[in-house]
Amino acid sequence: MHSLTRILGVPLATAALLVTAACGGTATNDPQAGDKLDIVVAFYPLHFTAERVAGETAEITNLTQPGADAHGLELTPRQTAKIQGADLVIYQSGFQPAVDDAIAQMELANVLDVTTVATMHDVDAAGEHVHTHSTEPAAEDEHGAEDGHDTDDHGTDDHGADDHGTDDGHDHGTTDPHLWLDLDNMAKIADATAEKLGEVRPDDQDTFSANAEALKADYTTLDESFTTGLANCERREIVVSHAAFGYLTERYDLVQVPIRGLEPDLEPSPARVAEVQQLAREHGVTTIFYETLVSPAVAEAVAGDLGLKTDVLDPLEGLTAESKGSNYLEVMNSNLTALKAANACN
């Protein structure tokens, strides 16, 4: 797919040749100098990164529409064509099966899979991050005693791009995809984006690198706000809509109590809801968090039973008009404000 802007940027005779070439079906991935780069990103945090690092040099297309569920993204033929024609595609393997499938069928010159630079954590059946790959045999796991968890992580998990690696018949080894809620990962993704863009357009490498440095400085400031803001709190537990916050809770020494598992669209079992309510009571939780992109009904039901408040904690899988902030940094700052209020931090 050739964009008109690309063709219009060159002399007429050349343009005519290009049109001819395009009609012949030849794909090109070497953008003309002066044209905007055509970047396709899979979902919001990658969009934010590309915007900041590419600056004015690029047009960016986000495959996940505002308000749509990033996990369950499905691609239109137009979007698939857009991926095929992009100067650079930035995505996260194992998170959106439709994107994985589309990319697997293409020979793309410039692709960045952010899992190749980020640090990812596995989770156990309860959604807790595990730090080392267990070498224990399956027989030693404890799932039998915790039936309430078993439906959390699975059920709609029919894509399985990332969790069939250890086919040993038990539930361990699922990787938490929400890696963008760790600011170290976001810094690594900023650097990798600058590097890839420099390969696509070497003339602008200095701009990309400087933009990435500025972005990382913003992440450092944000990280310090979280560290100091959450240092002294009356409690560490947070009850959340789905298990999206493992990277964040781990980084700032909080404890995530997710109503749902890694996927946001599963209905929690009554047993899981009862368990969450019990944990909320035990820890003196004041607030049940919900998300802008997931129905608050379950969170409201949990909170109502216990006489608690609800508030938004945003996993940044997408931005909408209702988001508490217009970009990644602003929404994260809103998250910090909500966390400090809920956990009585000072």
Contact predicate 227/254, CB 8 Å: no
Q: Is 40 in the site for Zn ion (CB under 5 A)?
A: no
Smallest gap from Cβ 181 to Zn ion, in A, equals 10
Nearer to Zn ion, 244 or 303 (CB): 244
Q: How far apart are CA 290 and CA 261, in angstroms?
A: 14
Does residue 293 interact with Zn ion by CB under 5 A? Answer: no
CA 5/CA 2 separation, integer angstroms: 9
Question: How far is 225 from 320, CA to CA, in rounded Å?
Answer: 24
Under the binding rule (CB under 5 A), the answer on residue 181 touching Zn ion is: no
- Least distance to Zn ion, CB of residue 71, Å: 5
To Zn ion, the closest distance from the beta carbon of 318 in angstroms equals 10
Give the other-Cβ count within 10 Å of 148's Cβ.
18
Query: How remote is the C-alpha of 115 from its chain's centroid?
Result: 11
Binding mask 230-259 for Zn ion (x = CB under 5 A): --------------x---------------
The C-alpha angle 42, 43, 44, rounded to 5 degrees, equals 145
Q: Which residue is nearest to Zn ion (CB)?
A: 244
How far from chain centre, in Å, is Cα 216?
A: 18
Query: Of the two residues 244 and 312, which places its CB atom closer to Zn ion in the complex?
Result: 244
Q: Does position 316 bind Zn ion by CB under 5 A? A: no
State the nearest-atom distance from the C-beta of 230 to Zn ion, in Å: 21
Q: Total residues at the site for Zn ion (CB under 5 A)?
A: 1
Tell me whether residue 173 or residue 315 sits nearer to Zn ion (CB atom).
Answer: 315
Asked if residues 102 and 134 have their Cβ atoms less than 8 Å apart, the reply is no
Q: Contact between 313 and Zn ion (CB under 5 A)?
A: no
Q: At 310, phi and psi to the nearest 5?
A: -120, 150
Closest distance of CB 90 from Zn ion, Å: 18
* SS3 label, residue 151: coil
DSSP classification of residue 114: G
Nearer to Zn ion, 69 or 141 (CB): 69
**Residue closer to Zn ion (CB basis): 163 or 204:** 163
For residue 264, the minimal CB distance to Zn ion (Å) is 5
Residues in the site for Zn ion, rule: CB under 5 A?
244
